[in-house]
């Protein structure tokens, strides 16, 4: 067994000696010859050993600091959206990088500490093994494997140097706190809470351009392709079955090319006005009463799978199709997905007619636009 034949470390216990016997037995059975097996610190307590120990502990101290930092940042940093130009925008922008950085440093420093521990405190070993393991029972395998691990821990001084175990435990605890608090984030932070957000931030994140503001009427404007053309829509403009792409329009924007263009290009604005064939039976749905005008319904044009425009309508079956991954939405069930990867219905836009007979939106979409995430109802 070469260098492993005798326990060279001072102070090895009888129990450790038993473990070493088992370790030797395991190597013999596997036909492993240990040519070199040297303890890095045969004399514990030397200055060099203490320096090496501090090296490990510095890394794990960094783990503790950055793990706790991650938890504090997650809990206390101003994380709510602030639009560019608003007070606190820079803090908001820094939130994710600082959180990511502190978690990253915690993970990397823990790993580095472990690498330094293995390199500086585990025995240096040179072994030769024959090509195939010898046959032995699973019980023997388990016993010799445990003995090998225990021998490595003994040899590295992990057992005797309880400061390592305590520091590693602290590091794991801090790292776990940092990661745990972000995993349980939904319990800690409510992303739907708009308290404290200014109007502009609310508008950007939680509302679309259909949201009526200051009581101004929002019309359905046909999307003709010209960003500045204003064509308002009346029921007679659409045959049955029919489909039309619409965007929001306000009279205050009529002579404002920039706003007209913006309304058309805002990503969550596009909606589809549909005219279902006469006598189509749409299943009643709680809360959706009065959101349609006869056979006319409006839904978001943005697919709830990955956000492609849902542009294809089959009037015979009353279904909308998304051309990207073939999701299919049943208009007889308020655009519920019935095929494909989309899991959530297209949000409905409540509509009505004004006194002149033009379509208007009476509110914003019934749900957030676009791809689903776990907090949204199907």
Positions that interact with ligand FES (CB under 6 A): 303, 305-308, 322, 324-325, 327, 340-342
Between residues 119 and 325, which has the closer beta carbon with respect to ligand FES? 325
DSSP states of 165-193: HHHHHHHHHHHHHHHHHHHTHHHH--TT-
Taking the complex as a whole, the smallest distance from the CB of residue 323 to ligand FES amounts, in Å, to: 8
Please state, in angstroms and rounded to a whole number, the distance separating the CA atoms of residues 202 and 338. 32
Taking the complex as a whole, the smallest distance from the CB of residue 291 to ligand FES amounts, in Å, to: 23
Between residues 155 and 331, which has the closer beta carbon with respect to ligand FES? 331
Cα–Cα separations (whole angstroms), residue 200 to 66, 92, 207: 34, 15, 10
Between residues 72 and 324, which has the closer beta carbon with respect to ligand FES? 324
Taking the complex as a whole, the smallest distance from the CB of residue 265 to ligand FES amounts, in Å, to: 19
Please state, in angstroms and rounded to a whole number, the distance separating the CA atoms of residues 70 and 99. 6
- Of 110, 124, 159, whose CA–CA distance to 35 is shortest? 124
Taking the complex as a whole, the smallest distance from the CB of residue 313 to ligand FES amounts, in Å, to: 14
Taking the complex as a whole, the smallest distance from the CB of residue 183 to ligand FES amounts, in Å, to: 28
* Chain Cα centroid distance, residue 97: 14
Query: What 8-state DSSP symbol labels residue 285?
Result: -
Between residues 96 and 326, which has the closer beta carbon with respect to ligand FES? 326
* Chain Cα centroid distance, residue 138: 41
Between residues 227 and 341, which has the closer beta carbon with respect to ligand FES? 341
Kind plus residue range of the DSSP H or E element containing 14: helix 14-29
């Amino acid at each position: 067994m070469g260098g492993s034949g005798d326990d060279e470390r001072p102070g090895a216990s009888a129990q450790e000696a038993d473990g070493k016997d088992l370790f030797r037995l395991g190597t013999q059975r596997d036909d492993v010859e240990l040519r070199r097996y040297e303890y890095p610190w045969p004399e514990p307590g030397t200055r060099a050993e203490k320096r090496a120990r501090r090296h490990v502990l510095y890394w794990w101290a960094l783990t503790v600091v950055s793990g706790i930092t991650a938890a504090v940042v997650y809990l206390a940093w101003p994380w709510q959206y602030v639009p560019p130009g608003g007070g606190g925008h820079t803090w908001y922008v820094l939130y994710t990088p600082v959180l990511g950085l502190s978690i990253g440093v915690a993970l990397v420093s823990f790993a580095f500490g472990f690498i330094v521990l293995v390199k500086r405190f585990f025995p240096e070993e040179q072994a030769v093994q024959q090509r195939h393991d010898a046959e032995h029972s699973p019980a023997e395998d388990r016993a010799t494997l445990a003995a090998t691990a225990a021998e490595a821990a003994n040899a590295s001084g992990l057992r005797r140097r309880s400061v390592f175990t305590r520091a590693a435990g602290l590091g794991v605890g801090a790292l776990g706190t940092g990661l745990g608090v972000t995993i349980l984030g939904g319990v800690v932070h409510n992303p739907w809470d708009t308290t404290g957000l200014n109007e502009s931030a609310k508008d950007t994140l939680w509302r679309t351009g259909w949201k009526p503001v200051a009581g101004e009427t929002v019309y359905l404007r046909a999307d003709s392709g010209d960003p500045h053309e204003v064509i308002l829509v009346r029921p007679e403009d659409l045959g049955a079955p029919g489909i039309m792409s619409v965007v929001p329009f306000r009279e205050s924007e009529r002579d404002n090319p920039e706003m007209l263009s913006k309304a058309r290009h805002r990503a969550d604005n596009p909606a589809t006005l549909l005219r279902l064939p006469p006598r189509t039976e749409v299943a009643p749905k709680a809360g959706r009463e009065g959101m349609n005008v006869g056979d006319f319904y409006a839904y978001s044009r943005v697919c709830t799978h990955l956000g492609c425009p849902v542009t294809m309508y089959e009037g015979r079956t009353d279904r909308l199709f998304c051309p990207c991954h073939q999701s299919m939405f049943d208009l007889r069930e308020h655009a519920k997905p019935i095929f494909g990867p989309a899991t959530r219905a297209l949000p409905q836009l409540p509509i009505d007619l004004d006194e002149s007979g033009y379509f208007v939106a009476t509110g914003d979409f019934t749900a957030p636009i676009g791809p689903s995430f776990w907090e949204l109802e199907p």
